[in-house]
Structure 1
Amino acid sequence: MNVVIVDDDLEFAKLIEKDVSQFFSRLYDFVSIDIINDDFKRIEDYSSIDLVFLDIDLKKEYNGINIGQFIQDYFPKAIIVFVSIHEELVFSALSIRFFQFIRKAQYQTDIVKVLKQVKKYMDENIKRILIKVDGRTHVIKFSKIIYLMVIGHDLIIKTIDNELTIHSSLMKFMNQVDYKELVQIERNLVINLNYAKEVMRIKVVMYDDVEHNVGRKYQSQLIEQYEEFLLK
């Protein structure tokens, strides 16, 4: 689990770090917590973010809304928790799809509730699958899969972290998956709608501007699933 705390108040950021560590370390085998206290452009260096605590009112050229927009664009499944001493700024944050808002003045009350809500959400929504490659077991979050592609008898699983190849058919793999954002658009290709920048009936443009054509038999289903995805 990768957690990032973005706050120019280092003392407060360390308080969040302590509480998050105590709460999640007993629940997950791996919890990484980073604090970004001044060089906020560092947020662009991360390859994976699961949970971010983000101060809206940063005293730099990067404000919390800008950073939140970046996270939403590049880490669409990241859980964003805004933090601020100014409660009225919650209205400014409404342009971002955020999970919760912590009031610094009510921190001790809010953090307990929010951490429990985050755990409940992750238990219900962050689904995983075990993959064995060359004798090693890998845990893959469905939300991190960018696409699945079959070449010959091999299935390539491309995630935001790496690329794995297993001996499997696309149908066999998809039968194990209960994740509606993974949508088949060609006989040998499934894409994750979270990483699609533009979806049209005959073409999908991914976040990295790679374009994929949509097979005729998959077009209606793609549009239907994409409309459901947008309504979430």
Structure 2
Amino acid sequence: MNVIICDDDQFFCQQLEDYVDAAFADFGQSYNCDVYYSGEELLAARKALEEPIQVYLLDIELPGIDGLSLAAEIRREDSQALIIFVTSHEEEMPRAFDVAAFHFIIKPLQPEKVLEVLKRAKEHFIRSKRTFQFIIRKRRYTLFAAEIAYFISQGRKVSIHTTSGKVYEYYGTLDEAEEQLGMSTFLRIHKSYLVNVDYFLRVESKKVIMQDGELLPISKRYHSAFHQNYRTQLLSI
């Protein structure tokens, strides 16, 4: 779980970060919170970020690029993250529908209200935003399952190919990935491939064509089980 706070008031940021830490403490080492004091600083930092962000807390009244414009920039590349606006002007709230805001926090902070909003975000994240976690060079990464197109296993390494085209490589096995996901939308088509059926363009007898144009083979070993499971998926839609 990766959280970003963006507000130009450093004291306020510290207050908000304390509430965020309290709300997400049970995520342990898989939780991280970073703070930025301007929209420009955040956008510049996002270009270098290797991990996706699950929750943004954005001040609407930022100097320079304001929170609504900042959220619009984020939405151009990320439709999955939860955006929570922080504002002292409730009249700005209707404009937030344009960027699919998750909720609001009103200034000055009311502890019960803040924790309620953060609790809702956490529950929403757990309930509807299933994630996959892996470790690269001792650092834990978190991806939404919906962001993963397919896994490829090569020896002791697994490559995650995301829907955005980014690729992550870590040490592990597909059996471990399949067990962690625990989702019927990820099916094995080969000993070396675990695929997200939601990212299929077309399915043929001996191969699947992904939305990025990649052709992945269905092996004899997995042929019958895959097609049966895939038909079950289609019937359940």
TM-score interval, normalised by the smaller of the two chains: 0.5 to 0.7
Instruction: Point out the more displaced range, 2-11 or 38-47.
Output: 38-47
Code of the aligned partner of 2:159:
I
- 1:145 lines up with 2:148 in the alignment: yes
How many residue pairs align between the two structures? 209
Identity %: 23
Partner of 1:94: 97
Aligned residue number for residue 62 of structure 2:
58
Instruction: Say which one has the larger Rg.
Output: 2
5 Å matches for 1:71-150?
Answer: 71-105=74-108, 107-128=110-131, 141-143=143-145, 145-149=148-152
User: Cα deviation per residue 1:133-167 (whole Å; 9 max; x = unaligned)?
Assistant: 9xx9x786553535323569985334668313545
Render the CA deviation track for 1:55-76: whole Å, top value 9, x for unaligned. Answer: 122220x222232233334343
RMSD: 4.3
Of the candidates 163, 168, 176, which is equivalent to residue 162 of structure 1?
Answer: 168
Aligned AA (1:204): Q
The aligned counterpart of 1:24 is: 24
| Matching residue within 200, 204, 211 for 1:204 | 211
Residue 5 of structure 1: how far off its partner (Å): 0.4
Letter paired with 2:61 = D
Q: 1:170-227 CA distances to partner (integer Å, 9 max, x unpaired)?
A: xx9657644477589999573586xx7xx9667624xxxxx43699x99xx7xx98xx
Q: 2:43 aligns with which of 41, 44, 55?
A: 41
1:14 corresponds in structure 2 to 14
Cα distance in 2, alignment partners of residues 7 and 86 from structure 1 = 15
Unaligned runs of 5+ in 2: 203-208, 218-225
Shift of 1:11: 2.2
Q: Distance in 2 between matches of 1:191 and 1:148?
A: 9
SS at match of 1:47: coil
Preserved CA contact (<8 Å) 1:153 1:168: no
Q: 1:28 and 1:152 mapped to 2: Cα distance?
A: 30
- Matched residues in 2 for 1:10 and 1:70: separation? 23
TM-score normalised over the length of structure 2 = 0.64
| TM-score between the two structures when normalised by the length of structure 1 | 0.65
Preserved contact between residue 160 and residue 167 of structure 2 (Cα < 8 Å): no
